[in-house]
Amino acid sequence: MEPGDAARLGPERVVRALPPRLLLLPLLPLLLGQGLRAAASASSSGAAASDSSAMEELATEKEAEESHRQDSVSLLTFILLLTLTILTIWLFKHRRVRFLHETGLAMIYGLIVGVILRYGTTATSGHDKSLSCTQEDRAFSTLLVNVSGKFFEYTLKGEISPGKVNSVEQNDMLRKVTFDPEVFFNILLPPIIFHAGYSLKKRHFFRNLGSILAYAFLGTAVSCFIIGNLMYGVVKLMKIVGQLSDKFYYTDCLFFGAVISATDPVTVLAIFNELHADVDLYALLFGESVLNDAVAIVLSSSIVAYQPAGLNTHAFDAAAFFKSVGIFLGIFSGSFTMGAVTGVVTALVTKFTKLHCFPLLETALFFLMSWSTFLLAEACGFTGVVAVLFCGITQAHYTYNNLSVESRSRTKQLFEVLHFLAENFIFSYMGLALFTFQKHVFSPVFIIGAFVAIFLGRAAHIYPLSFFLNLGRRHKIGWNFQHMMMFSGLRGAMAFALAIRDTASYARQMMFTTTLLIVFFTVWIIGGGTTPMLSWLNIRVGVDPDQDPPPNNDSFQVLQGDGPDNTRGNRTKQESAWLFRLWYSFDHNYLKPILTHSGPPLTTTLPAWCGLLARCLTSPQVYDNQEPLREEDSDFILTEGDLTLTYGDSTVTANGSSGSHTAPTSVEVGRRMKSSAEEVLERDLGMGDQKVSSRGTRLVFPLEDNA
């Protein structure tokens, strides 16, 4: 188009006639301005987003740092509590103060710290709002929440009643000192239970084995059902008077009966040990408490597994009842087998390896094998408490003989220290939990009813069983012993751990609060009255556990029984359980030689056609005259210090002395070994006047005294 054509076409035609690129020229300033503004806006938006992200990361780092600091403060709090407890214990021992045990001290210090944390610290966090998920009919253990395109993970802490939604704990420090219940079961309980089995006074334990089993199994079951039924009546009363605000079933009452039946007379036993109280009374109380914990936890698991068919899952159903009984027997026997097998495996490893040349590795392996027993049993659906208890007993009876001198000392001291720290940690936490735990349900009627039910349940546990046991015991359990056992039914770490393991429902929260108060009362009041009770009941103290009691001691007369048998010297020694008599010969002749470096050679006890196997399993140390054959654990069932063992052309005594003589035949060796074993058993069981007949490798004992 020529320049003159524009005048003829007019402005509109000119615009239409212009090429597109020329039409854009006037719009360039406008487009450029808009583009610059858009770019600036995008740049400012990106910068704002970047700044926001940076601020969020900085806030997250600060929260993580603050959380780490609070974790350190909470752990430091418990360490300082234990430190203060230890120093006070030293002061009490120095001043010979016995009215308060170390566990009671730990609880007092825990209470003081709990009050300070509850009322001396302010809220440091808050809850913005609650979100409703009305479409879901159950709670999820983990939730992923989408917040503006970002996903956040939340874990389930537990159910909160509608009336307590606005009073949820907003103090981060109090949240930090509230531990996961699994910490108690997987970390704190194993060393306590293992130490109980590893340090068991087996000599007196096995002599009273029948009575201990009766108290632990039958007595705990009786106590559980009596307490459960009485508490069900209390619950019905609470419902009538309008003090029950939620569901509380009969199975919940039975569960509470199982939990609170777990006795822990740690205070009484500590005073017994310090005063050297009567060894039989100590054995009965300690043995009952050790096995009682195992029975209580299996019993509670069986009650939880009780599921009747039909709509009413809390009604009585015979099929479900017998199923629960089967579950109880299965769990207990499986846990027992797993603990014993782990101990046997450890004994074989320490026997057939040269680990004793490296005491550090030996101690580490012993520790890991023992602790893994608990976790293995829990992973397989059994009860770790039962497994680790019998693992400790097996380790003490067999593995301990194979350890080097350094490892024996290390393992004893290691588990003793772990037991002391774990137990005092739990009792400190009990005091702390009274003020820091947020799900307490205080019911005066339930608490008073629980105290009455526990008293009646303990009485039904001790007195009727003692009556029936005395019918078959040569050495009776006197009334003063029975009163002391009734008085010593303290509750402690196991009851607390079972109660705190599940606090989701209203019934379980009330059980936990009541259990906590019962532990406080029994440890402080009953534990503090142990020494006066010993004096009032005229129970002997200052007793040498390895010395026979004098036959004319009036304070011990109640145990020995009346009649001329009291004048028979060693025959007045403590009861030897018939179960122990049955298995001792087999253990001494076969298990000890297979699993340890002690005992008679298997070549003298096994049949001739097992000669190759006997030579492979018998330890070379048995034939080595340089190594004494004495078991150095003074707590073992029998002291073989007087055994004289004959191998080859030398006679090896317990003190390591040897002498040459004419080599006897293998038959003579076997006879001497069996005769020595019988003499040891006869001497240690205090049956010097009784007739012992030998039939092969079996020992036959008359059940009654010979006139």
Strand partners, 652: 645, 658
Angle between helices 444-472 and 479-487 (to 10 degrees): 150
| DSSP structure class, residue 647 | E
CA dist 224 and 296 (Å) reads 8
> Would you say 571 and 687 are in contact if contact means Cβ atoms under 8 Å apart?
yes
Residues 437/178, Cβ–Cβ less than 8 Å: yes
Which residues in the chain come in under a pLDDT of 50?
1-32, 36, 549-575, 625-678, 680-707
Q: Any idea how long the chain is?
A: 707
Alpha-carbon span 575 to 209, nearest angstrom: 9
Single pTM value for the model: 0.75
β pairing state of 150-155 and 644-647: unpaired
Contact yes or no for 299/353 (Cβ under 8 A): no
Q: What is the pLDDT of residues 91-147, one digit of tens each?
A: 988 888 777 778 888 999 999 999 988 888 766 555 556 667 666 666 777 777 777
Residue 444 to residue 243: CA distance in whole angstroms? 9
Comparing C-alpha atoms, which of 630, 651, 638, 645 is closest to residue 682? 638
What share of the chain has pLDDT > 70, as a percent? Answer: 68
pLDDT in tens, 318-368: 787 888 889 999 999 999 999 999 999 999 999 999 899 999 999 999 999
Cα three-residue angle 243-247-249, rounded to 5 degrees: 110
Q: What pLDDT score was predicted for residue 414?
A: 95
For the stretch 583-619, pLDDT in tens is 778 888 888 888 988 878 888 888 888 888 888 888 7
In this structure, what token pair is assigned to residue 358? 């490296």
Q: pLDDT tens digit string along 146-187? A: 777 777 777 776 666 665 555 555 566 677 777 788 888 889
Q: Give the DSSP per-residue string, 582-641.
A: HHHHHIIIIIHHHHSS-SS-HHHHS-GGGHHHHHHHS-HHHH-TTS------TTSSS--T
d(CA 190, CA 422): 9
> What was the pLDDT predicted at 35?
53
pLDDT of residue 651: 42
Neighbours of 537 (CB within 10 A): 18
Alpha helix locations (H) across 96-157?
A: 102-120
| DSSP code, position 205 | H
CB of 117 within 8 A of CB of 174? yes
> Cα–Cα distance between 534 and 477 in angstroms, integer?
16
